[in-house]
Amino acid sequence: MNASITTARRSALITGGAGFIGCNLAKRLADQGTPVVVFDNLSRPGVERNLELLREQYPGKVEIVIGDVRSSQQLRPLVRRASAVYHFAAQVAVTTSLADPRHDFEVNAQGTLNLLEALRELPKPPPLLYTSTNKVYGAASDVRLREAESRYVPTQSRVALRGISERRALDFHSPYGCSKGCADQYVRDYARSFGLPAVVFRMSCIYGPHQMGNEDQGWVAHFLIRTLRGQPITLYGDGKQVRDVLFVDDLTDAMVRVTDRAHELSGRAFNVGGGTSNTVSLLELLELIRSMTGERCVVNFQPTRVGDQRYYVSNVGKLSAAIGWRPTTSVKDGVQRLANWLSRFGTGVSMPARAQVSL
């Protein structure tokens, strides 16, 4: 813990704050003068680097507390002095949830309930933003698709033009989908039943600096790292699956805007992603990386996994109307910025000199 920050000072609390999104948000808030408490159990490999960066760049502005959301006793004193709460702490992989559903539930569902109860005890709870997932909509197997050369394309013009909206019925798939969906609904109901100023983000694929991507989560960074290391990549399915990707700076902008209006927006859930203007298939991303780096990776194909979606693109119209927000970073620019960051900051990869550009 950073002893230079007194316990009396109100701070933004970020659970899972040493992770990819948490680190980026902590930097954003500290840069604008907001004190930050990062709460993390350091279970994800590589996040120690993010903590080192926060310590070095923001002495006296960012406090680091090592702990676990499964402990109510650890959460309560931090919640009592929070000016806002960003709840990112989670078990994040579908594969891990299939291997150990109980652990997945305890972290994602029970951990969120612990946080909600800590907030409910307060006479004036601070705003809460919870990051849910598009997996609450299930495999979306009813979305009719046609197969193009490098991607799947919706046959319904409404979906093709706008993406999938919050009107879609919830359909939890996999233990991960169930635990995140359970927490999603608890956050919304605590807003209704107990008046907590709480908002839910159902997020698509986020990428950017500080992402330690692997096969199960953070696939944009994972593809870049594997390609630049000359290592093969495994694709589950045919690689034509389509996602909307959102650069992390655009996400943190939306997060700050929403928490500023949390009392007005309380109880609402928003789909958050790059939208229809920032879509890419797995095969198309690999080709984009090849064009940037000159490196072509070896691809191994495996069967589709449980709960995988062939097509998911967020309709971000509801969030845009609520806070006047739209993504501003294109897929090409965002991937280049991530590639340059990976090359600069000791991740064991290097970009060819001709592929490094300033954006």
Q: Give mean pLDDT, residues 328-355.
A: 77
Distance (Å, rounded) from C-alpha 203 to C-alpha 84?
Answer: 20
Active site residue 311: no
Most confident option among 274-283, 302-311, 350-359 = 274-283
User: pLDDT tier at 347 (50, 70, 90 boundaries)?
Assistant: low
Express as a percent the part of the chain with pLDDT over 90: 84
State pLDDT tens for residues 117-165: 999 999 999 999 999 999 999 988 899 999 999 999 999 999 999 999 9
3-class secondary structure, 229? coil
| Model pTM above 0.85 | yes
Sequence-separated (6 or more) residues with CB below 8 Å from residue 335:
207, 220, 224, 285, 288, 289, 292
CATH 3.40.50.720 fits 90-355, yes or no: yes
* pLDDT tens-digit map of 233-247: 999 999 999 999 999
pLDDT of amino acid 348:
55
What letter would DSSP give residue 110?
Answer: I
pLDDT digits (tens, 9 = 90+) for 5-60: 444 579 999 999 999 999 999 999 999 999 999 999 999 888 999 999 999 999 99
At 165-176, the pLDDT tens digits run: 999 999 998 999
Radius of gyration of the chain from its Cα atoms, rounded to whole angstroms: 20
Per-chain mean pLDDT for the chain: 92
pLDDT bucket at 231, cuts 50 / 70 / 90 = very high
Q: Where is average pLDDT lowest: 123-137, 180-194, 212-226, 242-256?
A: 212-226
Instruction: Retrieve residue 10's tokens.
Output: 């109100």
Give kind and range of the element (H or E) at residue 21: helix 20-31
Which pLDDT belongs to residue 280? 98
pLDDT higher at 351 or 77: 77
Residue ranges covered by each domain of the chain:
90-355
Percentage of the chain exceeding pLDDT 70: 94
Cβ-in-10-Å burial (0-12, 13-18, 19+) of 22 comes to buried
Of 58, 176, 311, 312, the catalytic one is 176
Report d(CA 271, CA 134) in Å as an integer: 8
In angstroms, the CA 153 to CA 145 distance is 5
**In DSSP terms, which residues pair with 164 in a beta bridge?**
314
Count of CB atoms situated within 10 Å of the CB of 147 = 11
The pLDDT assigned to 357 comes to: 29
Query: Residue 97 carries which side chain, given as an amino acid letter?
Result: S
- 331-344 and 219-228 helices, crossing angle to 10°: 50
- When pLDDT is cut at 50, 70 and 90, the band that residue 349 belongs to is low
pLDDT above 80: residue 345: no
Q: What region does 43 belong to: left with phi over 0, alpha with psi -120 to 50, or beta?
A: alpha
